Chains A and B, each alone.
Chain A
């Protein structure tokens, strides 16, 4: 225990200031209303869905949990069930084999819900494109509010996308 405490004190606080929201990431300007923000309050629950990614985007989503980005410190947490989620964070080109699972996850998420598509594959199909096995971008399968490009996008960009999705729409 002494060793653990010593290490914690030596490590100190690593968390950095979160990024500003970026309205240019927003795809659908109509869906988010101030009331929704009021419903979410200060806390946000995210369900992450890998719909066919190479796992690169997942690495960066893991990283937003680390001490530098400290997403939980902002009251945002990842949850195990779509039924507990306010926002879906979706990666990958949607493989045809994940199409139904993604739709069902979307349907299982209570309204009002938000969808943020993470990574080039999720934005436009990326290097995998559309094929017999891939439906391409996420918005080909479910409605998307915000897209975050990058292969994979850096953790700050992912955070920015999430914060943009939950920020009030500029009039």
Chain B
């Protein structure tokens, strides 16, 4: 049992990962969170749902993680006064999630320190909440001026640079407010939510299959991770295990997604320090991976290759040879390029010591995923909770301690090589017996399931709730960027403004995945 508390009775979910749920009242939330925190655990996600139609008021869902597994706390809140105790003192990452949960649902963290809106700009009225079941989309339209009180930094010589939402490159939109002295950054404040396009509301009217397509488009660069997490949640509710061939295929696709993204980012990291050679070389390699994806799986980024219950693609013996050859080619080429990056004085000069997140701060604020591992946070869902087929693969985690741009590049290189090794192992194990895929058409009623997958950026989580008819009543996708965006505000402090693009790229966080 992961957590002990007199008022908490845990039920084990039939899940690919060790996961439990339990109902508690708001008064017990603090103590349980504190206990998980003190034991080295973390907050994965926080969301809410409107269950007033079932006479259950509102619910707050808090997903916690420790080394034994995940626990989803369901906190009952009254329909009239949906308030719960603020947990951002224990888990700072909760702050933005609490603000977003209020914007979307109108449930409220008492005694919270920051009650500013988060995802809501001017698109809907304050006091109307899109994820309530009685939300009237037509009546919500507003032309309210979109005021947002940024924190002001005062003092002699301090001035502000506002950037965005439309940025200077090919990049997702968001707003950054720098307070600077000369070129030195004193403070950065992020404001996101610009690409909020109503994903969670959209899920509510979708079938299980349509939902799978949408899950694969929460964040386009992590389509495999989201589609797998969604499928895992659905399979948990339906209590089915996909055939082992499907699981091997999923892992193969996930590692290919990781390789493609790391190649692209390593190219851009070179570009951002004026080594255009790096961009050209890495993107040639990335393009070759994408072309193989298109030829073998019908999509360059592998969208719609995973379906609840199984996978939508196969791999022939010839296809295996293509991937083997590709892995060998990448292994050799990336080694050469890593040597060049390592020896290039200009690259090392800009990478080392830039955008530092110390291990201490990373642990305090809950930095996760790739960026977390570059700051000595040794978490990787493929290692701690190795679900099939990772339980047979013995994944080597890449970690580093310095927490700077150089460390994040080193971790990327490490993960890239490990992904190539994993792909080769998967190919050896991927045997083509004809197992009937368990096509998942519909889910059982009143179900709840969680899926979590270590995507290339970090842990991608999808939670699914079904209603009395077995329809999707609430789907919550959670991106690791929620945890990591606040750390970027720290990483830039005392650096110069021109290094911001480089630092930002070294994290490469998702906007779409967290704006939803």
Contact = CB atoms under 8 A, between A and B. Distances in A.
Given A50-B173, A132-B135, A154-B300, A67 B280 contact: yes
A52 B197 contact: yes
A62 B170 CA distance: 7
Contacts of A57: 220
B59 interface: no
A132 B201 contact: yes
A127 B206 CA distance: 11
B442 to A, nearest CB: 20
A117 to B, nearest CB: 15
Nearest to B275: A4
B199 interface: yes
Contacts of B219: 54-55
B202 A97 contact: no
Contacts of B218: 54
- Residue among B172, B219, B223, B337 having the largest count of chain A Cβ atoms under 10 Å: B172
Given A55-B219, A67-B283, A128 B199 contact: yes
A75 B27 CA distance: 64
A95 interface: yes
B295 interface: no
Contacts of B169: 48, 78, 80
A140 interface: no
B130 A3 contact: no
A7 B336 contact: yes
A160 interface: no
B198 A128 contact: yes
Interface string B335-370: 011011001000000000000000000000000000
Nearest to B141: A132
A88 to B, nearest CB: 10
A29 B138 CA distance: 34
Interface of A: 3-4, 7-8, 11, 14, 48-63, 65-68, 78, 80-82, 92-93, 95-98, 101, 105, 127-129, 131-134, 151-152, 154
Given A50-B173, A127-B217, 16 more contacts: A52-B194, A54-B512, A95-B123, A95-B515, A96-B196, A101-B194, A127-B213, A128-B202, A131-B137, A132-B124, A132-B130, A133-B124, A133-B196, A133-B197, A134-B198, A151-B303
Interface of B: 121-124, 130, 135, 137, 140-141, 165-166, 168-173, 193-199, 201-202, 213-214, 217-221, 223, 264, 277, 279-281, 283-284, 286-287, 290, 294, 300-301, 303, 336-337, 339-340, 343, 510-512, 515
26 contacts: A3-B340, A7-B337, A8-B277, A48-B170, A51-B173, A55-B221, A57-B220, A58-B172, A58-B220, A63-B287, A65-B283, A67-B280, A81-B168, A95-B197, A95-B515, A97-B123, A128-B197, A128-B199, A129-B202, A131-B201, A131-B202, A132-B130, A132-B137, A132-B140, A133-B124, A151-B217
